[in-house]
Amino acid sequence: MKNRSIPSPAVTRLSLYLRELEHLQAAEVAKVSSSQLAGSLHITDAQVRKDLGYFGQFGRPGVGYRVEPLIEALRHILGTDRTQNVVVIGAGDLGRALLRYRGFHKKGFDIVAAFDISASKVGKQVGHVKVMDMSDLPAIAGKYDVKLAVIAVPTESAQQVTDALCSAGIKGILNFAPAILETTPDVAVRPVDLAASLEQLSFTIASSE
Amino acid sequence: MKNRSIPSPAVTRLSLYLRELEHLQAAEVAKVSSSQLAGSLHITDAQVRKDLGYFGQFGRPGVGYRVEPLIEALRHILGTDRTQNVVVIGAGDLGRALLRYRGFHKKGFDIVAAFDISASKVGKQVGHVKVMDMSDLPAIAGKYDVKLAVIAVPTESAQQVTDALCSAGIKGILNFAPAILETTPDVAVRPVDLAASLEQLSFTIASSE
DNA sequence: CCCTGTGAACCTGTTCACAGCG
DNA sequence: CGCTGTGAACAGGTTCACAGGG
């Protein structure tokens, strides 16, 4: 526990800063000011400085931030300076789409295995992994030191999958099933509820009429 | 604009309340208290009452909330008491997975069309729609009164797709491309950055060691 | 003079606590 | 007596504003 009360929205923005910095690096920009960074993300410059300030002193007064060192620092903070192995549970439409999604690898995540209970899916090749049976999960999780998992199974089986993941030593779950998952306290869950996201948009539209 | 300063986290939770209420309804539970609802979502009872209080008085002291009327009220608030038509832009892996996802329809959303620029994809049937060319967007948007769109295209084309959507009168965009989209002020964007979500989990794990 | 880092002020959202109704 | 609805107290985050370094 080395957390000194960092606002969780600040951590969310860290990913955005990193993304923007990677664009700048690709465009061979060497340095950037907080107000430039803020501008492209539609937030204030003070916000950028404060967020970065939670983690250290990365800038130089009168100059700004050097792009490359800041990228490395942010990756280190986020834990993506080394490859993170990930498993995907559920090889339905969504699971298969995630297995083929290239965005994860670019950000330092490596999907090392996929799992399903359906005999019709087990054994099939998707992306660069073969779908395995759920019973193989503990062995794979141990072998590849997997800490992160993605749940892309139907709502009804989400909780039992979660239990299996907790037992297998997974510490973070990205959950696409529309359900609240019960976990051991050392496991973090991040929900992604697609229908609820559309509902939020629907509300925004409805209330601005 | 009938918005009387409602905290946006409260709106997010509205979707969770609705989801839980629908479960209760399926289990033929007729009424529920704020503390019951709160318990299953891991929040406080006061939070539930305050959130609902922003939108009206739905409960009865000493009794609780009647499940069915509250469901109807929440759907009305979220604008999903009538079907909302949606278009999906991009018929790659993710787009096709979304086209087949049943969760949207259950919540009152109807995907009426999919679009892509690639000639190899246009004309193909996915789920219950046929993939159309981007140039057909304005006609379809008008014909079906589409207000919501989902962007599932590569990052590079996300902005030009956004421009087309704004011109076609779309008011809400669910954006899977890892990019900040520039829109006209009357268009709401909700980002879903899958890699960034994994980064958040990675951070949580890294900082609890 | 430009730009960072950071206390202080401000604002937004959550929790408390209780009055009041069934 | 149980449970809602809601002001009041509190906590968490954001913005301000400025001191200080290059």
Q: Residue A42 carries which DSSP code?
A: T
Burial readout B3-25 (b: 16 or more C-beta within 10 A, e: otherwise): eeeeeeebbbbbbbbbbbbbebe
DSSP state of B31: E
Sign of the C-alpha dihedral, residues B51, B54, B58, B61?
A: positive
CA–CA distance, A175 with A162 (Å, rounded to integer)? 9
Which pLDDT score is estimated for A179? Answer: 98
pLDDT in tens, B76-130: 999 999 999 999 999 999 999 999 999 999 999 999 999 999 999 999 999 999 9
What's the average model confidence in pLDDT over B23-45?
98
Confidence of residue A208 (pLDDT cuts 50, 70, 90): confident
Instruction: Write phi, then psi, for B28 (nearest 5 degrees).
Output: 60, 35
pLDDT score recorded for residue A3: 54
Question: Residue A49 CA to nucleotide C6 C1', Å?
Answer: 10
- Separation between Cα atoms, residue A203 and residue A173, nearest integer Å: 28
Best of A201, A204, A205, A209 to disrupt the B interface (most B CBs within 10 Å) is A201
Q: Is the pLDDT of residue A67 over 50?
A: yes
Nearest CB partner across the interface for A109, out of B11, B106, B198: B198
Q: Does B79 touch chain A (CB under 8 A)?
A: yes
Q: pLDDT tens for residues B62-82?
A: 999 999 999 999 999 999 999
Q: Which nucleotides of C are covered by protein (CB under 7 A)?
A: 1-7, 12-17, 19-22
D13 C1': nearest CA residue = A7
Residue A150: DSSP 8-state = E
Torsion of Cα atoms, A101 then B141 then A199 then B78, to 10°: 180
The pLDDT-based confidence of B169 (bands split at 50, 70, 90) is: very high
CA distances from A14 to A61, A151, B86 (A): 21, 24, 31
Q: How far is B36 from chain A (nearest CA, A)?
A: 14
Residue B179 has pLDDT above 80, yes or no: yes
Which tokens is A117 given? 């209970």
C-beta of residue A150 within 8 angstroms of C-beta of residue A87 = yes
Residues A166 and A184 sit within 8 Å (Cβ to Cβ): yes
Three-state DSSP class for residue A114: strand
Identity of the amino acid at A63: V
Q: Which residues on chain B are in Cβ contact (under 8 Å) with A191?
A: none
Instruction: Tell me the DSSP string of A132-160.
Output: EEGGGHHHHHHHTT--EEEE-S-HHHHHH
CB pairs under 8 A between A and B: 183
pLDDT of res. A209 = 75
pTM: 0.96
pLDDT in tens, A23-56: 999 999 999 999 999 999 999 999 999 999 999 9
Q: Report the pLDDT value the prediction gives residue B60, as an integer from 0 to 100.
A: 96
Neighbours of A4 (CB within 10 A): 8
* Tokens of residue A145, six digits: 């030191």
Q: Assess whether pLDDT exceeds 50 at residue B164.
A: yes
Given a cut of 60, is residue A1 above it in pLDDT? no
For residue range A106-121, list pLDDT tens digits in order.
999 999 999 999 999 9
Task: Answer with the residue of higher pLDDT: B3 or B173.
Answer: B173
Amino acid at B32: V
Q: What is the rounded distance in angstroms from the CA atom of residue B163 to the CA atom of residue A206?
A: 22
The answer to whether B13 touches A193, Cβ cutoff 8 Å, is no
Interchain pair A93, B78: CB under 8 A: no
